[in-house]
Structure 1
């Protein structure tokens, strides 16, 4: 083999290795930046979920909505100001569902954190939302429904086990 050909091949090999390493590091940096950009979204969701008016409305949905109001009215048939309060809760879950559906947030983070309540709130709002779909002629709150289905199919307790979350056996 010609020495200059061998040198060229070694140079080419080194260049390809450097290119592969650069591509790998660029991918890792982009992933880290994406994760860092999502931190404010996640913390804002946590904050909203803990607001007293949000918590109170969610409790009302779970305990009294279907007793006090007929689902045949749909969401739009619920009187104000209750309708706006319920919309705020439903839209919260629909927005989380959008972030999951469009892969802006990892569904495991959302389901692992909000999954149990998502399923419960969806179960109570489902008849109202389905009626609202008939009224509007749209697939109203489709991302909320998808999120609830993901949460129902992947219970948070199972996700936590897969993640290796530990329990304190001494408590």
Structure 2
């Protein structure tokens, strides 16, 4: 075989390896950047979650809202303090849901982290939301807080052991890398 043919084959092979390597690293970098975006958004939204006031409002919405107020007048019929708690808590989760809808936040990550809280809030506010939709003249598939409703449905469908399974998988990955024993 002529040396120029061998040289061309070797240089072509090196070029192919370089292109494949570039593609692999580019895909990995894009995936890492996407996760970095998720983390910063999640950290910003979870900042509110650390406030005592938010937890007081959350407890109010989950335990006292339906006991103290009739959903017949919808969200608009709630007194100021109840409406403030409703808006603070429900729109907090609606913000997460909207980010997930537009692909700015991984909904599985979100649902895994906040599963129980999302489900309990939706269960507490659902009658108010459904009545508010009626008062707005929306049909049965109304759009008022529909992103949050969908997020709550996904959270309810997620098996309770999902968090435990995700943690076990993370431990396995770290163990394989030698970062955890």
TM-score band, normalised by shorter chain: 0.7 to 0.9
Displacement, 1:29?
A: 1.5
| Residue 139 of structure 2 corresponds to residue 153 of structure 1 | no
Give me the whole-angstrom Cα distance separating, in 2, the residues matched to 1:93 and 1:86: 11
The more displaced of 49-58 and 5-14 is 5-14
Does 2:138 correspond to 1:134?
no
CA contact under 8 A between 2:94 and 2:147: conserved in structure 1?
yes
Mind listing any 5+ residue stretches in structure 1 that lack a counterpart?
A: 167-171
Match of 1:37 in 2: 37
**In the alignment, what sits opposite 1:62?**
62
Partner of 1:169: none
Cα pair 2:61 2:124 within 8 Å, conserved:
yes
Backbone CA RMSD of aligned residues: 2.0
Contact kept? 1:112, 1:160, Cα under 8 Å: no
Shifted more, 153-162 versus 75-84: the winner is 153-162
> What per-residue deviation string (whole Å, max 9, x for no partner) do you get for residues 24-67 of structure 1?
11121222222223323212222212212211111111111111
Q: Which shifted more, 13-22 or 1-10?
A: 1-10
Residue aligning to 1:21: 21
In structure 2, distance between residues paired with 1:47 and 1:155: 26
Say which SS state the counterpart of residue 113 (structure 1) adopts. helix
Q: Larger deviation: 156-165 or 104-113?
A: 156-165
Contact 1:115–1:155, Cα closer than 8 Å, also in 2: no
> Match for residue 48 of structure 2?
48
Equivalent pair of 2:74/2:130 in contact (CA under 8 Å) = yes
Q: Is the 8 A contact 2:61 2:85 kept in 1?
A: no
Distance across 2 between alignment mates of 1:130 and 1:2: 79
Measured against aligned partners, the alpha-carbon deviations of 1:99-136 in whole angstroms (never above 9, x if no partner) come to 22222222232122110011011001011111112222
CA-to-aligned-CA distance 1:130-170 (integer Å, 9 cap, x gap): 1112222241111111111111111343232244178xxxx
Alignment partners' CA distance in 1, 2:88 and 2:99 = 17
Structure 2 stretches lacking a partner, 5+ long: 172-181
Structure 1: which 4+ aligned runs deviate by more than 6 Å? none
Q: Is the 8 A contact 1:93 1:144 kept in 2?
A: yes
